[in-house]
């Protein structure tokens, strides 16, 4: 199970969209069934990411606005804006939660994010549990409502997405810390709820939430040689 495990703990700060997405790809590709699970917390330059199924040509104007600081994520979903958020990536062996389906896995993994919000004094729920929310899809991540999106005071905050292979479960998510524009495409942020956290404070709070939720031990780490080689190949090839 996911509980009572040692996890490699990787922190990455202020990286480009290309760099962050390449790290996610590298960690996923390098992961083996007997690998230590990984939690990565990271921040971004001002950038955007597209879902794996989206076409860059459809968002050419937006990409140009961000001076081509854009990339496709390893997961699906809509356009997501970065630079004001903190993100997590969790990579675990599929055997940790082999008895659960995709939806149940979302709920389990996102429980540490709910804990994070709760410790900040915010009541967070999944969209499926808020009767006023109508589930819908959108080309922009913050506009649509999926069942396991997180809702605070009727507003969606951040987003989470998952990718699986036979032996690996990868999930990542974004938590907006600051408000950069009053526009539904950017979604709500902690600042909108009078919570002011910088990256370092958010790291500490998420680390505590993860450790308490999963009774986990986090061991500080960096990319290993294999992961770094895969990252270099991906980065140079993109």
Please write the tens of the pLDDT for every residue from 18-40. Answer: 999 999 999 999 999 889 999 99
- Tally of residues, the chain: 238
Report the alpha-carbon distance of residue 191 to residue 205 in Å, rounded. Answer: 16
Tell me whether residue 171 is in a domain. Answer: yes
The tens digit of pLDDT for each residue in 177-232 reads 999 888 889 999 999 999 999 999 999 999 999 999 999 999 999 999 999 999 99
Total domains in the chain come to 1
Please give the pLDDT value at position 192: 96
The tens digit of pLDDT for each residue in 29-71 reads 999 988 999 999 999 999 999 999 999 999 999 999 999 999 9
The tens digit of pLDDT for each residue in 64-104 reads 999 999 999 999 999 999 999 999 999 999 999 877 888 88
| Neighbour tally for 212: CB within 10 Å | 13
- Residue 44 sits in a domain whose CATH number is 3.30.930.10
Consecutive H or E run containing 134 = none
The range of the structural domain enclosing residue 154 comes to: 6-237
Tell me whether residue 1 is in a domain. Answer: no
SS3 104: helix
Tell me whether residue 195 is in a domain. Answer: yes
Report the alpha-carbon distance of residue 25 to residue 65 in Å, rounded. Answer: 25
By DSSP bridging, strand 80-82 and strand 47-50 are antiparallel
């Amino acid at each position: 199970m996911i509980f009572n495990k040692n996890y490699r703990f990787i922190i990455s700060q202020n990286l480009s969209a290309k760099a962050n997405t390449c790290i996610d790809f590298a960690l996923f590709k390098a992961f083996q069934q007997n690998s230590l699970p990984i939690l990565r917390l990271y921040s971004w330059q001002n950038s955007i990411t597209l879902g794996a199924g989206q076409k860059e040509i459809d968002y050419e104007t937006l990409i140009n606005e961000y001076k081509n600081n854009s990339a496709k994520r390893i997961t699906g979903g809509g356009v997501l804006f970065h630079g004001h958020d903190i993100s997590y990536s969790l990579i675990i062996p599929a055997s940790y939660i082999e008895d659960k389906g995709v939806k149940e896995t979302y709920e389990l993994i996102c429980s540490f994010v709910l804990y994070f919000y709760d410790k900040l004094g915010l009541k967070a729920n999944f969209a499926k549990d808020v009767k006023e929310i109508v589930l819908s899809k959108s080309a922009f991540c913050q506009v649509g409502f999926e069942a396991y999106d997180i809702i605070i005071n009727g507003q969606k905050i951040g987003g989470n997405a998952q990718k699986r292979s036979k032996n690996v479960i990868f999930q990542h998510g974004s938590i907006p810390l600051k408000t950069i524009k009053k526009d539904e495409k950017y979604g709500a942020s902690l600042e909108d709820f009078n919570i002011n956290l910088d990256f370092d404070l958010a790291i500490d709070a998420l680390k505590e939430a993860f450790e308490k939720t999963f009774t986990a031990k986090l061991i500080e780490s960096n990319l290993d040689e294999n992961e770094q080689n895969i990252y270099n190949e991906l980065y140079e090839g993109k």
